[in-house]
Amino acid sequence: MGSESEPTIHQCECDICRTDTDLATAQHYQQLNLFLSRLNEPQRRWYVGTLSQKLGNPSDRQLSLITGLDEKTVRRGRQELEDGLAGLPYDRQRRIGGGRPSAEEQDPELETDLLDIVSPNTAGDPMSSRKWLNCRLVDIQERLAERDHRVSPPVIRRLLKKYDYRLRANVKEREGKQHPDRNRQFEYVHEQETKHQTAGQPAISVDTKKKELVGNFKNPGRMWCQMPEEVDIHDFPSDAIGRAVPYGIYDQQYNRGTAYVGQSAAHIGCGPRSL
């Protein structure tokens, strides 16, 4: 939206205008909307707020029809005025022709609620601050809507990136079929983690890394050598001498980590032992 583009003027949708656009009231509403089209967003809702103050609450719906502003916006404008516009910007030039304010500027609680919704669902690499999400943007959008935030998936994606979240597209490929209660596990673990950390108790993250077959198998890295090493064609575990199971143990609070290498195929029990 450039500064040279003409502002769109809302066409009033009230009964009067639908009956006869030549009526004085209808013409007045057209003038009102022409005027509003030259104001920036806060100014627009404040002006409509003054009309709402004059007419009383039941008129919010009517004012919404006339001006095209959301009923909520009308209410907000009125409340901001009643609060003496406390904490709101003085700068008249702000935002005029400068594009719309961002979603988080318009909705100060959006980011807090988003992070709240998203944090129990964070899987991911405990060593990096990069967090992986295991839910879809539309799911997040839905849960935000439950808290009265209306935002589009692109906005959610932008905000998540801002907080170092990345979307993992191939969760299923990497982790197999998901258990229906998988999400509850994450939420439970997160809850315990927070509880213990606030109580000053350690919370560590134990994590199995990629299992390496020890033996003569092809490894997907590249080496500098003159002749390619001869490797078995198939990586059957039965051909392996043993199976190396690396464990990572990481203390999030004190930022300390240790790696252990276990050797059993039945790796349950190996982790606790290395602790």
**Smaller CB separation from Zn ion, 29 or 165:** 29
Q: What's the min distance (Å) between Cβ of 15 and Zn ion?
A: 7
- Rounded to 10 degrees, the C-alpha dihedral 168/171/174/176 comes to 180
Give dist(CA 153, CA 202) in Å, integer: 36
Q: What's the min distance (Å) between Cβ of 67 and Zn ion?
A: 10
**Smaller CB separation from Zn ion, 13 or 109:** 13
Helix runs in the chain, H state only:
15-19, 24-37, 41-55, 59-67, 71-82, 103-106, 110-118, 137-146, 153-162, 171-175, 182-198, 270-274
Q: What's the min distance (Å) between Cβ of 50 and Zn ion?
A: 18
**Smaller CB separation from Zn ion, 14 or 203:** 14
Size, binding site for Zn ion by CB under 5 A? 5
Where in 7-36 is the site for Zn ion (CB under 5 A)? 12, 14, 16-17, 29
Q: What's the min distance (Å) between Cβ of 61 and Zn ion?
A: 13
**Smaller CB separation from Zn ion, 27 or 192:** 27
Q: What's the min distance (Å) between Cβ of 20 and Zn ion?
A: 10
Q: 3-state SS of 128-170?
A: CCCEEECCCHHHHHHHHHHCCCCCCHHHHHHHHHHCCEEECCC
**Smaller CB separation from Zn ion, 27 or 178:** 27
The tokens for 209 are 């890394």
Determine if 171 is a binding residue for Zn ion (CB under 5 A).
no
Residue type, 72: K
The tokens for 226 are 């003159």
**Smaller CB separation from Zn ion, 61 or 130:** 61
Q: What's the min distance (Å) between Cβ of 81 and Zn ion?
A: 23
> Residues near 146 by Cβ (< 8 Å), separated by ≥ 6?
none
Select from 256, 247, 251 the least CA-distant residue to 203: 251
**Interacting residue ranges for Zn ion, rule: CB under 5 A:** 12, 14, 16-17, 29
